[in-house]
Structures are given as C-alpha cells and as structure tokens.
Amino acid sequence: MAVKQEFQAESKRLLELMIGAIYTQREIFLRELISNASDAIDKIYYKALTDDSLTFNKDDYYIKIVPDKANRTLTISDTGIGMTEEELVNNLGVIAKSGSLAFKQQFEAKDGHNIIGQFGVGFYSAFMVAETVTVISRALGSHKAFKWESSGADGFTVEPWEKDTVGTDIILKIKANTEEDNYDEFLEEYRLRQIIKKYSDFIRYPIKMDVTRTRKKEGTENEYEEYKTEETINSMVPIWRRNKSELKAEDYENFYYEKRYGFDKPLTYLHISADGAVVYNAILFIPEQAPFDYYTKEYEKGLELYSSGVLIMNKCPDLLPDHFSFVKGMVESEDLSLNISREMLQHDRQLKQIAKNIRNRIKSHLLSLLKDDREKYEKFFAAFGRQLKFGVYNEFGANREDLQDLLMFRSSKEKKLVTLDEYVSRMPEDQKYIYYATGESVERIDKLPQAELVLGKGYELLYLTEDIDEFAVKVLQKYKDKEFRSISGGDLGIEPDEQDKPSDAEAKEQQELFKAMKEVLGDKVKDVRASKRLKSHPVCLTAEGELSIEMEKVLRQTPH
Ligand code: ADP
Ligand code: MG
C-alpha cells in the first residue's frame, strides 16, 4: 500500500472548492482534461519532429475517451509525453505555474460559481464529477509507469504500475447521482460527444471514442443489431483556419447554425485571417434580425474566444464595442494564455489590439456592403440602425466617427433612406445647413409650416421619426463641416425673398400685435416674434433650449 502524501496547501484549497462546486457547467472538466492531453501530445510531437532517434508516425498521436457504465468510470487516454513519478507528484500535487493558480485567486476574490466556465481551471476540475481520480502515466524515455490516485483533499498516493506504452490514462470514478445532481450523463456516449463537439472540436489531434451504431443483421430482412465502431469525434481543422477560397457561403451558414449564434440566417459574414501587427483568425456574422432581447438590458454582447483550438470564453465582451454589439462569432489567437481570467483579459494588450482591428474590419465591411449591396444594407439598418444611433450618442472620438458614415435617415428626396454623405454631396451651393425635422411620421412632418420654406427652396429635408434620431444629430453637430439645423429651432440661414420682407411701418404694427398676443398667452410661450421660416402658413411654434421632452424620455430608456 502506497504512502499517502499531502497536497500543497493551495492545491488543497482549490481542490476543496472543486469538490464542492455547485455548478451547472461541470461539463468543462472534459475540456480541461482533453486540453492537457493535447498539450502532452504537443510536447511529444515536437520531440519526435526534432529528435532523429524517435520514429514519427502521425497516427500515433491521439486522445481516446472510454465511458464504462458498468464500472462507472470515464477514461481519458493520450499518447502524449507522460509523467515521471516526480512529475506526478509535482504537477498534480502542487499548483506551480498552472493557470489554476490565477483561477484560484479569482475564485477567492468573488463568488466563483459563475466564473469556472470562463477560463482554464485545470486538472482539479475532474473532482467536480469524480469521487476518485486515478492517473496512470509512463513518461517518454522511461520503462516504468506510475499510478497517482486521490479521492479528495486529504491527499494522494503514488506507486509503481504497469503500462505498455508511453502516455497517460486518466480514470475518473464518476460520482453517484444525488437528488439534485445527475452525473450519469458523463457516461453517456451522446452526451460526451456533445461536450467534445462544443469545447474541443478544433483540437488538432483526433479525439476518438467507440460509438454504438446499428446495422441490418446479415441474412435478415428487418432485423437490426448494434455494433461498436471507433470514430473520431472532433473535426480537427477549424473553419476559421481554412482558406477562404475553399469555403462557400453555405459552410459559413452551417457554422452559424452549429454554433447557435442565432436561429435566423446570417445576413452577412466576414472571415479574417490577420497576420500583421496582430495575429488572429476570426469569423464574424451579422444576423438578419435583431435577437428578441437585443434592445433590452438582458442582451449580452461578446465573441467566443479561442486560444490554440481551445475555447476559453463563451462571450468575451471586450472584443466588441457596444455599437457593434450585434456581431456574433469567434476569434482565435495563439498568443493568449488558456488560463487568462476576465480581468486579466481586459488589460491584455494583444486583446485590445485585436478588438481595435476587429472594430475597423466590421466598419469597412459595413461600408462596402452599403456601397455594393444597398438592399442588404438597408435590411441591416432596419434591424440594427437604432444601435448605431445609440452609439453615436454614447461614444466619443474615433468610435463616433466610425459611425457617422453608417447612418441613414429618411429624406424628402423620393422619401428614401439616404446617408449623410449622399445628402451633403448633393447640396446646392447656396444651402448652408443640413436640415432636419423631428416628428412622429413623414406625413406629419410634411404638414409642418416650417417644412414648406426648406422644401420650397428645393433643399432636402431629413425626417427624424425615431426618438433616438435627434440625439444622434445633436451630438454630431456637423457632418463634413455642414451643421445640422432643425427646421423648428434657430436660424435657418434662409433669407426671405425681398417682396416678403415687411416695411418699417408693417414692422412697427407687428411689434404691437406680438406684444398684445404675448399678454394673452402669458406663461404658455416664451416669446412671440416675426418668423423667417414661414411661407404660406401664418404661424408656427419653435423650440429653444437643448433637450426636448422627447429626448429626455429616450435618454431614460437607453438600454446599453
Ligand atoms: P496547466 O494545464 O495549466 O498547466 P493543469 O492543472 O491542467 O494546469 O495541469 C497541471 C500539469 O499537469 C500540467 O502542466 C502538466 O504538466 C501535467 N499534466 C496534466 N495532464 C497531463 C497529461 N495528460 N499528460 C502529461 N502531463 C499532464
Ligand atoms: Mg491544463
């Protein structure tokens, strides 16, 4: 009987946290063990490639998953580099460099339950599902194998064992079901397949499993029999690393469904393989429709983040600015640590650069869509234009600039959507401002007395019918040096025709009339004066001051 050794104090603490974890994403233990197996194969693979004394056969490198319902065990085997006796003690008994350490700090800082899934938690995550963990390993270059075993925080044993080949078997004795928790699922083929597909599909080595299939019994008409056959579960070559020219729109659509980025169809996608100052691959989608919760506080933006084929975060919010929060998809960067935490990520320079790069790519993608496929762009704008306008209001500097060229407003010209660039580029020379009017509908605005003058001059008028429109325009102030002017406030810069100007006598008469009117109206108006913005209508109301009542109302509703 081997002597029991103690875990290092910190390991013990982490392990206790794992054992007690009431956590719905327990399934990630498999991701952790597979990623360790893959790391171990990476190491031997590299050795074999660089060391002539080792024979090299690509088929020798694989990971195998074996569920055994009768014995309630799940075995994860790899043909990797293996561990010596000393390594078993040091790597599995002590938290050294391991990301587990960073995790542990996070775990203690906060209530850990929601953060487990977000980054690597390492080998100890096996204790979320197993009552006993046994590791049998034989290191490269050694003829001896060893068995490491632990049933929890009180310690582990290491003793000599038999193993014919180099590599590691991790045997999990799966916990018994309790009233609240079902562990049986981790012994089910279909469930294991699902978990592997979800988290480890793009591991570079085959992940094999014996799966049950049915076939027609030989010599019979309608009789079927089950049989086992070994299959590779993961697809190994991720779509984002494939060459764009090999891929069809359909492949991207399938990926979109497979990943459940949305239940609609993607309206458009972009595939980025950046290898300049920042190196990363990304596949990004813009959905056809806004998700049902999109304009609510519940909606969470973010992209999936992979590092070397392993999913490290489901929704990394730092990769997307709020104004592009509708973008779905994934990013892979080799240089990120698997064990990076959310807080560390926020300060990661590499990630910041990727985010900036992505922002620019999305912007130019949308601009070319606008140029090349107007119909599609308008569809996009119908779904997400509102978010862009919120963006104009909420963002500053470069982010705001990004957005102004993507905006569209309904215009008096054929009542079509126009961009600000289109508006400005066809302004007559004598037109000073970009004119807009706010109102419930195009019809209502057309009836405004003030609209007549602007339209009569042959100038184009923007109909701001959405509550957020006015904010956007007020915040922008100008587009290409042309100021925005509401037709119902401020100087319109349109001089009345000579014959419409009052004579001195008329002006005097008006003054008296206005005085009398003001007395009658009292507090209801601030002032009564002659207007330069009327043509055939006798009177109009104008607003002064910065925020209209409508604007204040919207401000309170801004979701994100
Ligand atoms: P990390 O993978 O971040 O280092 P883990 O807790 O997942 O942390 O694993 C701890 C260490 O145990 C690894 O760094 C590795 O040295 C060793 N190890 C774990 N699993 C295996 C394996 N299947 N083959 C070889 N070494 C392993
Ligand atoms: Mg690991």
Residue-by-residue pLDDT tens, the chain, 560 positions: 688 999 988 788 778 877 776 566 788 899 889 989 998 998 888 787 777 788 778 788 999 999 999 999 999 999 999 999 999 998 898 765 455 555 556 555 554 444 454 445 689 889 999 999 999 999 999 999 999 999 988 899 999 999 999 999 999 999 999 998 899 999 999 999 999 988 888 788 999 999 999 999 998 989 999 999 999 999 888 889 888 998 889 889 878 876 778 877 899 999 999 988 889 999 999 999 998 889 888 899 999 998 877 777 889 999 999 999 999 999 999 877 655 666 677 778 889 999 999 999 999 999 999 999 999 999 999 999 999 999 998 888 888 888 999 999 999 988 999 999 999 999 999 999 999 999 889 998 888 888 888 888 889 999 999 888 998 999 999 999 999 999 887 677 777 666 666 677 777 887 888 888 888 888 877 777 777 666 677 776 666 555 555 565 666 665 54
From 64, 75, 77, 123, give the residue whose CB has the most ligand 1 atoms within 8 Å, as the site to mutate. 123
Q: Is the CB of 80 under 6 A from ligand 1?
A: yes
Q: CA 233 → CA 33, 175, 191, 310, distances in Å?
A: 16, 25, 12, 15
Q: Is the CB of 99 under 6 A from ligand 1?
A: yes
- pLDDT of 231 reads 96
Is residue 106 within 8 Å of 343, Cβ to Cβ? yes
DSSP state of 505: H
E strand or H helix that includes residue 329: strand 328-332
Q: How many residues does the chain have?
A: 560
Instruction: Give the residue, by CA position, lying nearest to ligand 1 atom 11.
Output: 91
Helix, strand, coil % over all residues of the chain, rounded to 5:
40, 20, 40
- pLDDT of 400 reads 87
- pLDDT of 117 reads 46
Q: Is the CB of 100 under 6 A from ligand 1?
A: yes
Atom of ligand 1 nearest to the CA of 36: 20
Atom of ligand 1 nearest to the CA of 76: 23
Is residue 333 within 8 Å of 304, Cβ to Cβ? no
Ligand number, closest to the Cα atom of 126: 1
pTM, two decimals, is: 0.65
Q: What is the largest CA-CA distance in the chain?
A: 117
- Residue 403: HSE in the Cβ half-sphere, 13 Å Cα cutoff: 26
Phi/psi for 269 (5° steps) reads -140, 160
Q: Is the CB of 28 under 6 A from ligand 1?
A: no
Q: How far apart are CA 12 and CA 361, in angstroms?
A: 46
Which residue has tokens 């997307």?
A: 320
Ligand number, closest to the Cα atom of 98: 1
CA of 339 to the centre of ligand 2 (A): 8
- pLDDT of 337 reads 67
Q: How far apart are CA 185 and CA 123, in angstroms?
A: 20
Is residue 268 within 8 Å of 351, Cβ to Cβ? no
CA of 94 to the centre of ligand 2 (A): 13
CA of 168 to the centre of ligand 1 (A): 11
CA of 321 to the centre of ligand 1 (A): 35
Q: How far apart are CA 487 and CA 543, in angstroms?
A: 10
- pLDDT of 113 reads 46
Instruction: Give the residue, by CA position, lying nearest to ligand 1 atom 12.
Output: 91
**Token pair recorded at residue 284:** 């990004």
E strand or H helix that includes residue 538: none
CA of 121 to the centre of ligand 1 (A): 11
Q: What is the tens place of the pLDDT at every residue in 195-211?
A: 998 888 878 899 999 99
Give me the helices (H) in 20-122, please.
Answer: 28-50, 85-93, 99-109
Q: Is the CB of 168 under 6 A from ligand 1?
A: yes
Is residue 396 within 8 Å of 358, Cβ to Cβ? no
Q: Is the CB of 120 under 6 A from ligand 1?
A: yes
Q: Is the CB of 123 under 6 A from ligand 1?
A: yes
- Which residues make up the environment of ion ligand 2, defined by Cβ < 5 Å? 36, 122
- pLDDT of 380 reads 98
CA of 336 to the centre of ligand 2 (A): 14
Q: CA nearest 17: which of 187, 152, 149, 176?
A: 152
CA of 18 to the centre of ligand 2 (A): 15
CA of 93 to the centre of ligand 1 (A): 11
Cα radius of gyration rounded to whole Å, the chain:
33
Q: Is the CB of 40 under 6 A from ligand 1?
A: yes
Instruction: Give the residue, by CA position, lying nearest to ligand 1 atom 4.
Output: 98
Instruction: Give the residue, by CA position, lying nearest to ligand 1 atom 19.
Output: 36
Instruction: Give the residue, by CA position, lying nearest to ligand 1 atom 7.
Output: 122
CA of 85 to the centre of ligand 2 (A): 19
| Cα of 160 vs its chain's centroid, Å | 48
Q: Is the CB of 103 under 6 A from ligand 1?
A: no
Is residue 487 within 8 Å of 461, Cβ to Cβ? yes
Q: Is the confidence metric ipTM above 0.85 for this complex?
A: yes
CA of 86 to the centre of ligand 1 (A): 13
Q: Is the CB of 91 under 6 A from ligand 1?
A: yes
Instruction: Give the residue, by CA position, lying nearest to ligand 1 atom 17.
Output: 91
Atom of ligand 1 nearest to the CA of 92: 12
Q: CA 264 → CA 133, 197, 292, distances in Å?
A: 43, 22, 11
Q: CA 267 → CA 248, 285, 290, 304, 384, distances in Å?
A: 15, 7, 11, 19, 12
Is residue 512 within 8 Å of 518, Cβ to Cβ? no
Ligand number, closest to the Cα atom of 91: 1
